[in-house]
Amino acid sequence: MTNEKRKPAKALNATLGERTTVRRRTAAKKETAKGGDHVYDTLIIGAGFAGLGTAIKLREAGVHNVAILERAAEVGGTWRDNQYPGAACDIPSNLYSFSFAPNPNWSRSYSGSQEILGYVHSLVNDFGLEKLIQYQQNVTRVELDDTQGLWMIHTDSGRVWKGKTVIMASGPLANASFPKIRGIENFKGKKIHSAQWDHDYDFTGKRVAVVGTGASAIQIIPELVKKVDKLKVFQRTPAWVMPRPDFSTSEFSKKVFAKLPFTQKAIREALYWTHESMALAVIWSSPVTRIGERLGQAFLKSQVPDPWMRRQLKPDYKLGCKRILVSNDYYPALQKENCELITWPIANIVEKGIRTSEGIEHRVDCIVFATGFDVPKSGTPYPVLGVGGRELAKEWQRGAQAYKSINVSGYPNLYIMFGPNSGPGHNSALVYMEQQIAYAVKGIRTILDSNLKMLDVKPDVQAKHNANIQKRLAKTNWNSGCKSWYLTEDGFNATMFPGFATQYAAQMGKFDVKAYRQVKADVVA
Ligand code: NAP
C-alpha cells in the first residue's frame, strides 16, 4: 500500500471561498478516459463530498485505477445545487468537513454554501483529483455482468464504463422534488425549487410564495423577505427551531488553527461530543428531550411575542421526530410587515397563485418550492441490476435495506454511500461519511488483494442486521408518529441510523469478511 502525501494546507487555504480560482466547466470536459474496454478498479458515481473523499482514501490505500463519473459540469453535489439565498450548513464547519483535511480559514462557525463549495473545490485541487473526474456523465443504468464480475455503468453520453467495484456516491438529496399539488402545472408565474435556484430571477418588488417550512425554507425566507414586496409562507407542519450559535472566526483564531492544528482538532472533538450528547434528546424520548422541548418553546416565546402566531408555530410532535432546525432570523422574518404566515392547507395551485382550503386565492408572481428532495427510500436514482438481472428498486419497493447501510446482497462489489439507515439526526453527516468511506476501502482492498470476482454479503446476515436496526428504530423519536422524509408512506424507516455516531463508527469499524460470500476470479492462462 502506498500512502499519498497530502499537499500542505496552503493550497487549501488559498482556494477556500475563492471559486473564481477554480475553473468552472460550462462545456463537456475533453474526453480523457481510457478506451471503452478499460476496466477500472473502482468507478465512483458522483463528485460531491462522498465521491471525492472516497477517491482520496482509495488512493491512500494504493487504488489508483479510479474514475469519478459526475453528471454535472462542476463538482460539489448538494453544495453546488443548493445555492439559494441564505444557504448554509446547520452543522458547524469544523465538524462539517473532513477530519483529514481541516480548514483553518472557515470564516464563521456555520459557513455558507459558497464557502463549503469552495472547500469541496479545494479538495479537488489539493489532492489532485481533477484528472479522475469525468464530467457530464449522467448515469442511466448500473448493471452487473456476473459472468465477468464486472459492473457496467451506462451514462447518457452513450458510454459504458466498466469497473470491478462501484461506489454509489450520488447522494440521497440529489433530486429536487416538486410537490404533488393539484394544478401545479397551471401556474403561469415563475416556479423555482430551492435546489435549482434561478439566480437571474429578480425578486425585487415581487409578490412571492414559499411552500414549505423545512431546513431550506427557513434559510431562504429571511433573505427573500428583504427583497420582495410581499412574502407568503405556506406552512403545513411547524418545525422545532433552536437558536444558532453563529460567530465569525477571528483572524487570530485562523492563525492559531493554521500554526497549531491540534487546537482546531480539539475544537472539532468538543463539537463532536456536544453533538453526540444531543442524541439523547433527538433520537430517543428522554428527560433531555423534554428539556430540549422547553428550550424550543422558550426560544419561540422570546422571538415571537404574539400568542396567536406562537400557537401557529408550535410543533405538536416530539422534538427530533422531524429534523430540528436552527435559525436566529427565521421567526423575526415571519413577523416582518411584508410577510404573512399561512397555515390553511393548500387546496390547489391556479394560474395566478395558490388557493387554500378556506377558498382564498393568494395571487403571486413567483412560487418558491422549498419542498425537499425525492429521497430513494423505496427505489434507486437509476436502475441498478445485480446478480441474474435482479433489480434493486424492485427489492426496495417496500423500503430500502442494506447490510451496515452500505452493501446489498445480490449486488456484490457495490458500495452505497448514505445507503439505507445511515442518516444522522444529531451529528455531522461527514462523520458518518468518513466511516462509510473507510469501510468501502477495506472491502475494495479485499476484492483486489484476493482477486475476487464477487464479494457479496450473505442474505441471512443482511436480514439479521436489518431486523436489529428496525427493532432499535421502533424505540426512536423518528418512529413516534409524525410524517417526515425519513419514512416511507407506510411508515418504514429506511433512512436513519438508530444510535450515536460513535455506535455507527463501531458498526463500520469492523469489516467481517465472513459476512460475505466470496467468488474467486477466473484465472486466465
Ligand atoms: P424538507 O425538510 O423535506 O422540507 C420540505 C418542506 O416542504 C416541509 O415543510 C414540508 O411540510 C413542505 N411540503 C412538502 N410538500 C408539501 C406540500 N405538498 N404542501 C405543503 N407543504 C409541503 O426539505 P428541505 O427543507 O429542502 O430539507 C431537506 C433536507 O435537506 C433536510 O432535512 C436536511 O437533511 C437537508 N438540508 C440541510 C441543510 C443544512 O443546513 N445542513 C439545509 C437545507 C437542507 P411537512 O413538514 O408538512 O412535510
CB-count burial class (<10 Å; 0-12, 13-18, 19+) for 157: middle
Would you state the pLDDT for residue 7?
40
Instruction: Summarize the confidence of residues 343-365 as an average pLDDT.
Output: 97
Would you state the pLDDT for residue 437?
98
Tell me whether residue 3 is in a domain: no
Indicate if the pLDDT at residue 24 is higher than 90.
no
d(CA 83, CA 404): 32
Query: What is the pLDDT of the chain when averaged over all its residues?
Result: 92
508 alpha carbon to ligand 1 midpoint, in Å? 29
As beta bridge partners, residue 166 has 43, 414
Q: Please report which confidence band the pLDDT of residue 32 belongs to, taking 50, 70 and 90 as the band edges.
A: very low
Assess whether 36 and 104 both reside in one domain.
yes
Assess whether 415 and 454 both reside in one domain.
yes
pLDDT in tens, 102-155: 999 999 999 999 999 999 999 999 999 999 999 999 999 999 999 999 999 999
Q: Which of 89, 323, 418, 483 to mutate to test the pocket of ligand 1 (most atoms within 8 A of CB)?
A: 323
27 alpha carbon to ligand 1 midpoint, in Å? 32
Indicate if the pLDDT at residue 306 is higher than 70.
yes
Assess whether 189 and 215 both reside in one domain.
yes
Angle at 512 between CA 508 and CA 517, to 5 degrees: 125
DSSP three-state, residue 43: strand
Contact assessment for residue 72 and residue 252, using Cβ atoms and an 8 Å cutoff:
no
Element (H, E) at 251: helix 251-259
The total number of structural domains that make up the chain: 2
Indicate if the pLDDT at residue 5 is higher than 50.
no
368 alpha carbon to ligand 1 midpoint, in Å? 12
More confident residue, 161 or 490: 161
In this structure, the residue with its CA closest to atom 3 of ligand 1 is: 372
What atom of ligand 1 comes closest to residue 90's alpha carbon?
Answer: 40
367 alpha carbon to ligand 1 midpoint, in Å? 15
Tell me whether residue 8 is in a domain: no
Tell me whether residue 264 is in a domain: no
Assess whether 501 and 355 both reside in one domain.
no
Assess whether 388 and 365 both reside in one domain.
no
Would you state the pLDDT for residue 34?
52
Q: Which of 193, 233, 371 to mutate to test the pocket of ligand 1 (most atoms within 8 A of CB)?
A: 371
Assess whether 231 and 299 both reside in one domain.
yes
Assess whether 72 and 52 both reside in one domain.
yes
Tell me whether residue 250 is in a domain: no
Instruction: Summarize the confidence of residues 333-337 as an average pLDDT.
Output: 98
Tell me whether residue 269 is in a domain: no
Would you state the pLDDT for residue 13?
41
Domain finish residue from 369, 400, 426: 369
Tell me whether residue 274 is in a domain: no
Would you state the pLDDT for residue 376?
66
238 alpha carbon to ligand 1 midpoint, in Å? 11
Instruction: Summarize the confidence of residues 153-178 as an average pLDDT.
Output: 92
Q: Which of 216, 235, 428 to mutate to test the pocket of ligand 1 (most atoms within 8 A of CB)?
A: 216
In this structure, the residue with its CA closest to atom 2 of ligand 1 is: 214
pLDDT in tens, 203-243: 999 999 999 999 999 999 999 999 999 999 999 999 999 99
241 alpha carbon to ligand 1 midpoint, in Å? 13
CATH of the domain at 210: 3.50.50.60
12 alpha carbon to ligand 1 midpoint, in Å? 32
Q: What type of residue is 135?
A: Y
Domain span at residue 107?
Answer: 23-175+375-524
Most confident of 9-18, 166-175, 277-286, 479-488: 277-286
Assess whether 207 and 333 both reside in one domain.
yes
Instruction: Summarize the confidence of residues 45-73 as an average pLDDT.
Output: 98
139 alpha carbon to ligand 1 midpoint, in Å? 26
pLDDT in tens, 367-391: 999 999 877 667 889 999 999 999 9
C-alpha dihedral, 82 to 88 to 92 to 94, nearest 10°: 60
Would you state the pLDDT for residue 171?
85
CA dihedral for 208, 212, 216, 222, sign (positive or negative): positive
pLDDT in tens, 449-494: 999 999 999 999 999 999 999 999 999 999 998 999 899 888 999 9
Indicate if the pLDDT at residue 28 is higher than 50.
no
User: Which residues contact ligand 1 via a Cβ below 6 A?
Assistant: 88-91, 173, 179, 181, 194, 211-217, 234, 236-237, 323, 346, 370-373, 483, 485
Assess whether 422 and 497 both reside in one domain.
yes
In this structure, the residue with its CA closest to atom 26 of ligand 1 is: 372
Q: What percent of the chain has pLDDT over 90?
A: 86
Assess whether 324 and 411 both reside in one domain.
no
Contact assessment for residue 355 and residue 184, using Cβ atoms and an 8 Å cutoff:
no
Assess whether 61 and 116 both reside in one domain.
yes
Domain finish residue from 337, 369, 401: 369
Domain finish residue from 320, 350, 369: 369
What atom of ligand 1 comes closest to residue 484's alpha carbon?
Answer: 48
What atom of ligand 1 comes closest to residue 215's alpha carbon?
Answer: 25
218 alpha carbon to ligand 1 midpoint, in Å? 9
Indicate if the pLDDT at residue 22 is higher than 90.
no
Assess whether 321 and 460 both reside in one domain.
no
217 alpha carbon to ligand 1 midpoint, in Å? 7
Indicate if the pLDDT at residue 346 is higher than 50.
yes
- What is the distance of C-alpha 214 from the center of its chain? 15
Q: Tell which phi-psi region holds residue 329, choosing left (phi > 0), alpha (psi between -120 and 50) or beta.
A: alpha
Spell out the alpha helix ranges (H) of 61-171: 78-81, 113-126
- What is the distance of C-alpha 56 from the center of its chain? 19
d(CA 97, CA 79): 13
Q: What percent of the chain has pLDDT over 70?
A: 92
Q: Which of 49, 93, 193, 236 to mutate to test the pocket of ligand 1 (most atoms within 8 A of CB)?
A: 236
- The gap between the terminal CA atoms of the chain, to the nearest Å, is 27
Tell me whether residue 44 is in a domain: yes
Q: Please report which confidence band the pLDDT of residue 506 belongs to, taking 50, 70 and 90 as the band edges.
A: very high
pLDDT in tens, 74-89: 999 999 999 999 999 9
Would you state the pLDDT for residue 276?
97
Contact assessment for residue 150 and residue 83, using Cβ atoms and an 8 Å cutoff:
no
Tell me whether residue 260 is in a domain: no
